[in-house]
Structure 1
Amino acid sequence: MSKQAVASTPDKPSGAMDKFLNLIERAGNKIPDPAILFFWGLVIVWLLSALFSQFDFGMIHPITGQAIEVNNLLTGQSLSSFLANMVTTFTSFAPLGIVLVSMLGLGVAEASGFINTGLKKMLNFTPAKLLTPMLILVAIISHTAADAGYVLVIPMGGVIFHAAGRHPLAGIAAAFAGVSGGFSANFIPSGIDPLLAGFTQSAAQVLDPAYIVNPLANIFFTGLSSILVVCVGWYVTEKIIEPRLAATPVDVDAEEAPNLAVLSTVESRAFSYAGWTMVAGIVALITALYPETSPLRSPEGELTAFSAPIMQSIVPLIFVLFIIPGIVYGRVSGSFKSGDDVIKAMAATMGTMGGYIVMAFFCAQFLAAFSQSNLGTLLALSGADLLKSMDMPGQVTIVGMILLTAFVNLLVGSASAKWALIGPVLVPMLMAVGISPELTQAAYRVGDSVSNIISPLMVFFPLVVVYTQRYMKSSGIGTLAALMMPYSIAMLIGWTIFLLGYWALGIPLGIQAPYTYSMG
């Protein structure tokens, strides 16, 4: 590999880029933990409810036909009700249970090594010409296993590119683009689907208490989006990033890098057993669904109706379809010696969810108060009136939603915390102008993904910097952000156009996912 002098070293980004990143980092570091944000949000809702309950806004709820009145939550009765229902509010919080249950199964599959082995196998049989798109595709699939992409696929991208005689930083950048830039592009259901759907449903119920959001409401859109992300990432890597890195020296020899993609005979055999177990489970599920009298169908024989047990069992199915192959892999490979190891894997997964559980507690109390006060309905309908007066096409509104999310994402890294913060306002607001919660969620997912790879506050950003420093010791935050900027811009433009075209063609976003919402 060429080690000639660098013509334009990427470790010193342009002044404008440097200032932008420094501004984002300073602003983001001043933002409190999401749990603290929700606590203060709860206090603010209480105070505003007491203030605005004194006024008559003359607004009529479009669904109930009743006048909208702000309820004072600082009365003795309201506060006593808050304390009495605090535990129930938390335990009945929709995003809590669905995330924890799905992560139990995924955690076992990841801890056993089943998912990591599958990712390695996909890269092992890839022809050299297709190395870039396959690496990005594997990075996208890695979302299924929570953080596996960050700790396995991204460093593996550097190793594989280096071994192939290509610049390792290009491999790291391509993998990072797939793992984080394509965070919402996946054709395999994962924990993020029920997580976001739970928050979207809670937000939609601010305006329509009976509204239900299917956990797979965006699965068709995200599945096809994976093709887009692969194509965009492939083009940017080979046409922009690699030429830019051509004159950049590497500080480590390829021979010194361990081959992370090597699989043992035991791992291969264990994966075969586990893989066929998963296939058998899927076949058994399809067989059970096929008869029109199947107990998994609705009373009318439909599969996709909300009343169908299969639609209410999506999260448990994710749990089952990953935990059983995970156990099989663990037993065959020896990573699980007994049932105790399976339980320990589940416990370890729950240990990583501690921060989420704390945030969910405060978020649940905040959303409950926000809904009970009627401030959310008032704010949503007022914002909707503003949007109507501006008379903007729905497509412009969706583009604005994507841009807003991408900007907020630079300051608040957590996808769940961010959506829990802005969803209760944006979802009902767009419902009031005829845009469905499912379409709003899809727009959010686009904006949330594309700016991940340029935000120094994204939790794994420093780890990726460490990966780059292995091959170029002088690299830093600015280096990585400058390297990822072309991916971010290309994905923002391409994915936004893709969503608008997808909408124009009327292709279903997912299961039980309309584009429009009517309050009539």
Structure 2
Amino acid sequence: MEETTTKKGFVTKALDFIEKKGNKLPDPAILFFSLMLLIWVLSAIFSNFTFTEIDPRSGEAIGVINLLSGASLAAFLSNMVTVFTSFAPLGIVLVAMLGVGVAEHAGFINAGLKSMLSVTPKKLLTPMLILVAIVSHTATDAGYVLVIPLGGVIFYAAGRHPLSGIAAAFAGVSGGFSANFIPSGIDPLLQGFTQSAAQIIDPAIQLNPLNNWFFTSASTLLIVLIGWYITDKIVEPRLQKVAVEVNPDEQPKMDALTSKEKKAFIISCLVMFICLLGLLFWAIPADSALRAETGELAVFTAPLMRSIVPLIFIIFLIPGVVYGMMSGTFSKTKDIIDSMTKSMSGMSYYIVMAFFCALFIDAFAKSNLGALLALKGASGLKAMALAPEVTIVGILLLTAFVNLFIGSASAKWALIAPIFVPMLMQLGISPDLTQASYRVGDSVSNIVTPLMPYFPLVVVYCQKYVKSTGIGTLVSMMIPYSIAFMVLWTIFLLVYWAIGIPLGLQSTYEYIPTP
């Protein structure tokens, strides 16, 4: 027992040290601005060097673009507004929050929480939250604007520390990004890059879009169990010393629903169900306008997948209005607009951070420094000529490292798939397995990099309960998840491979060239 206490003490001290040092970093907005300036300087320096790595996007040797040149600075000024307004997370967050804000201020979400907490055992609250967070991947980035803030509300309402609820939800949404038993648009997206890379060696090869489905489904249970343990045994105990201060107007009221509220909630849920049923009947026909030209629903080109955020807005707005009117929370239409205004006022700090974040990410992409980093790492790993098992782990670790700087899963895979997939095919390893290792690495470091576009938003969620929350606070909470996911998920992949369980539909572990 004494040894265990010592180990826990060391972990706590280490996390406290990370939090203390991390919180000394500048405000996230200033941090992004400073990093943008650093990228400008580095781009000017490295633009004078010649590199031999081939950029798969152009087929030519990659070169760093000097962002301090006259033309680049002129383009920066002329495109600044467009870069900000086209920053994808900004639109997603604001549009979704308009609908969610109505449902929240009407009391509809609060009523739902009361109902859920009345039927969910307290001991199972953590795994249920993480499972919901994982499933939210199906709706692209919906988990960031729905599940993560609700994680804090649910834990607070249950008498637990709200930051641990946010951490658990963040771990499920982002750290377990490639764990999901429900297929989503990311599956065919990555498969497309993998197949194109594989056809460099074998032009006739065809891969199934769900070639990793069995593995990602099995990974769901793993991520839930790991996240459950980390939340309840490491993160939440450490947070007990952190005081929570919540605006009285925003506190979930956990007294029992009145008969009027129960009736309003039941009818509102029925309205939501009718909306979802209508959407289902609209999507089912083979010639539905919600389908892509190929007839599929789950691909990114399908209008349904491109309409997830507007659908969230509508599906929360309508029941929220119904509940507000029936329960008496809303007495006039202006109350609906006021609830939207309140939800937007809470996003003001995030909007400022998003401005500088958008400029930094745009500069990093245009400079080609991120692409160069990925290609250099891939080339170095290839040159080592390691054993297949070690190479698979190397791909996973390299992906996790590059992921600290390049958040987009598809952007990274578009860069390094043309190197890794053909390389491992020549070693007899299938593209399906190479893609699976990439997906693990792409997930585990999402939750510890402030450069991830949604990271500042999670900081804002935490500040609702603990005003002093900074980058260091969030990173220190998420490091235990990241390390545990990386180690145990890697082992899980190797064991899964050793046993020979299929990775997905029509998938293989070995690549055998066709005669």
Q: TM-score, normalised by structure 1?
A: 0.65
Matched, 1:264 2:258: yes
Matched residue, 2:111? 117
Relative distance call for 1:303 and 1:220 in structure 2 (3 A) is farther
C-alpha contact 1:93 1:364 (8 A) present in aligned 2: yes
Q: Measure the CA separation in 2 of the matches of 1:41 and 1:307.
A: 33
Relative distance call for 1:346 and 1:234 in structure 2 (3 A) is same
Matched residue, 2:310? 316
Shift of 1:236: 7.9
Q: Measure the CA separation in 2 of the matches of 1:271 and 1:368.
A: 44
Matched residue, 1:254? none
1:506 to 503, 508, 512: 503
- 1:54-93 matches, cutoff 5 A: 54-93=48-87
Relative distance call for 1:278 and 1:437 in structure 2 (3 A) is farther
Matched residue, 1:52? 46
Q: Measure the CA separation in 2 of the matches of 1:505 and 1:16.
A: 40
Shift of 1:385: 0.9
Q: Measure the CA separation in 2 of the matches of 1:235 and 1:42.
A: 38
Q: Measure the CA separation in 1 of the matches of 2:479 and 2:369.
A: 38
Matched residue, 1:158? 159
Relative distance call for 1:88 and 1:14 in structure 2 (3 A) is closer
Matched residue, 1:302? 296
Q: Measure the CA separation in 2 of the matches of 1:495 and 1:55.
A: 38
Matched residue, 2:26? 32
Matched residue, 2:209? none
Task: Select between 273-282 and 176-185 the one with higher mean Cα deviation.
Answer: 176-185
Matched residue, 2:128? 137
Matched, 1:369 2:363: yes
Shift of 1:384: 1.5
- In structure 2, the gaps of 5 or more residues are 134-142, 198-211, 241-251, 422-433, 451-457, 510-515
Q: Measure the CA separation in 2 of the matches of 1:113 and 1:507.
A: 42
Shift of 1:395: 4.1
Shift of 1:134: 4.3
Shift of 1:275: 0.9
What are the Cα deviations for residues 231-279 of structure 1, in whole angstroms up to 9, with x where unaligned?
45667899x79xx9xxx9xxxxxxxxx9826222222212111111111
Q: Measure the CA separation in 2 of the matches of 1:500 and 1:30.
A: 39
Amino acid corresponding to residue 46 of structure 1 in structure 2: W
Matched, 1:380 2:380: no
CA RMSD of aligned residues (A): 5.0
Matched residue, 2:282? 288
Q: Measure the CA separation in 2 of the matches of 1:64 and 1:303.
A: 30
Matched residue, 1:148? 150
Relative distance call for 1:433 and 1:347 in structure 2 (3 A) is farther
C-alpha contact 1:57 1:69 (8 A) present in aligned 2: yes
Matched residue, 1:342? 336
What is the total number of aligned residue pairs between the two structures? 424
Q: Measure the CA separation in 1 of the matches of 2:58 and 2:410.
A: 19
Amino acid corresponding to residue 261 of structure 2 in structure 1: E
Relative distance call for 1:89 and 1:30 in structure 2 (3 A) is same
What are the Cα deviations for residues 114-138 of structure 1, in whole angstroms up to 9, with x where unaligned?
2222222122134xxx441146415
Secondary structure of 1:158's match? coil
Shift of 1:425: 9.2
Shift of 1:22: 3.6
C-alpha contact 1:402 1:443 (8 A) present in aligned 2: yes
What are the Cα deviations for residues 312-342 of structure 1, in whole angstroms up to 9, with x where unaligned?
2122222222221222222222222222222
- 1:199-214 matches, cutoff 5 A: none
Matched residue, 1:400? 397
Q: Measure the CA separation in 2 of the matches of 1:358 and 1:235.
A: 35
Shift of 1:77: 2.2
Q: TM-score, normalised by structure 2?
A: 0.65
What are the Cα deviations for residues 151-209 of structure 1, in whole angstroms up to 9, with x where unaligned?
x32233338xxxxxxxxx9xx8985774455454699x9xxx99xx9xx99xx9xxx9x
Secondary structure of 1:71's match? coil
Shift of 1:359: 2.3
Shift of 1:387: 2.3
- In structure 1, the gaps of 5 or more residues are 1-6, 160-168, 209-217, 249-257, 409-417, 467-476, 509-514, 516-520
Relative distance call for 1:368 and 1:460 in structure 2 (3 A) is closer
Shift of 1:464: 7.7
C-alpha contact 2:148 2:170 (8 A) present in aligned 1: no
> Sequence identity, in percent?
41
Amino acid corresponding to residue 153 of structure 1 in structure 2: I
Matched, 1:357 2:332: no
Q: Measure the CA separation in 2 of the matches of 1:451 and 1:36.
A: 16
Amino acid corresponding to residue 157 of structure 1 in structure 2: A
Q: Measure the CA separation in 2 of the matches of 1:19 and 1:330.
A: 47
C-alpha contact 1:137 1:226 (8 A) present in aligned 2: no
Relative distance call for 1:224 and 1:268 in structure 2 (3 A) is farther
